[in-house]
Amino acid sequence: MITSLLSSDSAVTSPAGAQSPRSPLSISQRFEAVRAQTERLCEPLDTEDYVVSSMADVSPTKWHLAHTSWFFETFILGPHAPEYVSPNPRYAYLFNSYYVQAGERHCRAKRGLVTRPTVREVFEYRAHVNEAMRDLMQRIERDPQHPAHALIELGLHHEQQHQELLVTDIKHVFWMNPLRPVYRERPMGTPSDATKLEWHAFAGGVHQIGHQGHGFAFDNEGPVHRQFLEDFTLASRLVTNGEYLEFMNEGGYQRPELWLSPGLAIVQERGWKAPLYWERDGSEWTEFTLAGTRPIALDEPVCHVSYYEADAYARWARRRLPTEAEWEVAARGAPIRGTFVESARFHPAPANPEQASESGLMQLYGDVWQWTQSAYVGYPGFKPDAGAIGEYNGKWMADQWVLRGASCATPESHARLTYRNFFPSDARWQFMGIRLADHA
């Protein structure tokens, strides 16, 4: 049973409350599109790029390609296509991630040491799984109640998560290379002043929080529940590099009164003096991007900051981070638009007033995931499913913080109002940024 992982209508990818059209594509068409997009993201890479793991959190590109295929093989073809035969039974051990109930797993930190299967063999594995999936979908397409439909939908959103990881992981791999390789060329932007930051008020009271209605949702987005909020205000846009630079210039990383105790310990232990990928060049700062090293663009959203850094900046600014419920209430009804992976920019863009929602908020989706001050725990009444699929989200509900929105590495069709991303306090390699909040 995976009913709590998915909504009942698997043909719709638009979240409740968002002004996005229903998907016109069938499940098989979306399968082809998602699988092709993963491989399209690999086109700028050479063979050597596929095999590197630059830290424990970063998986090789080759592993992402194989793991997403293993997911379809294990949870869909295994139970629903009894004639299916894996090209190599040992792949189940090599490409499982954290699904304990699905069997033994290869050590995550050693993924970059695995030279075989080769990149060519991994692509052959993907093709083998794709062909079997096409056969299965052809057999079940006239039976919308077939349980494999919901699992395929889950597999597609799982692969979109790994598309984002593929981009952020290869950025860290390239960063660790002294040559600072370019993933995708991008013209230099024209320096400009940041859009004026304004504050918008939202009414408190009792609000319904969580996924409701039709469309895909992970299990951690529900159940819908009531939550009381005080009146609050939210910043109209994300915090910019220029604003964060002011925090740095005023000794932000050296002022203990701004930092949570474990955050200050990490800053001192790891020598943090700026966001990840920033480097000082003489008297100026540069930032490594997937288009190479660039001078800091003051009007772009600051990114690659941890929860600790986001919280310290908010204290310095005499504001705070929003709760995830505040973010959801403020974003309700806003269109899902912004800088997503489809833009091929692979970097957050300056705020655009023409894309403001009716409430006046910009950059709700895309650009960077936005830290909230909400701990990642289950909503009231949350119950994970039995079996390995139930390990997808519920097992991580400890020592993590919720992020909302999406990033410039997120597929647009993967973003929705109730999406709950989550990472530990010290994570920085994802496109993570800051939106400020305050009491009304």
Q: What percent of the chain has pLDDT over 70?
A: 95
Rounded Cα–Cα distance for residues 398 and 378 (Å): 10
Q: Where do the structural domains in the chain lie, given as residue ranges? A: 27-175, 199-439
Tokens of 233: 């205000």
Give mean pLDDT, residues 131-136: 98
Model confidence at 329: pLDDT above 90: yes
370 in helix, strand or coil? strand
Give the number of C-alpha atoms closer than 13 A to the C-alpha of residue 312, restricted to the C-beta side: 32
Report d(CA 431, CA 47) in Å as an integer. Answer: 25
Average pLDDT of 105-125?
A: 96
The mean per-residue pLDDT over the stretch 405-409 comes to 98
**Residues in CB range of 54: below 8 A, 6 or more apart:** 112, 169, 172, 173, 175, 176
pLDDT at 19: 34
pLDDT for the residue numbered 7: 37
Provide the residue type at 154 as one letter.
L
What tokens does 10 get? 């698997």
- The predicted structure's pLDDT at residue 297: 97
Cα separations (Å) of 113 from 55, 60, 236? Answer: 12, 10, 45
Q: What is the model's pLDDT at position 138?
A: 95
Output the pLDDT for position 23: 56
pLDDT for residue 12 is more than 90? no
pLDDT 10s digits, 199-233: 999 999 999 999 997 899 999 999 999 999 999 99
Residue 29: both structure tokens together:
């068409």
DSSP 177: S
Q: Could you tell me which CATH class the domain 199-439 is placed in?
A: alpha beta
Integer-rounded Cα Rg, in Å, for the chain is 22
pLDDT tens digits along 148-207: 999 999 999 999 999 999 999 999 999 999 999 999 999 988 888 999 999 999 999 999
Distance between CA atoms of residues 259 and 186, nearest Å? 36
Q: What pTM, to 2 d.p., does this model score?
A: 0.93
Give the list of residues 6+ apart from residue 200 with CB closer than 8 angstroms, or none: 233, 234, 236, 330, 359, 360, 361
Q: What's the average model confidence in pLDDT over 238-258? A: 98
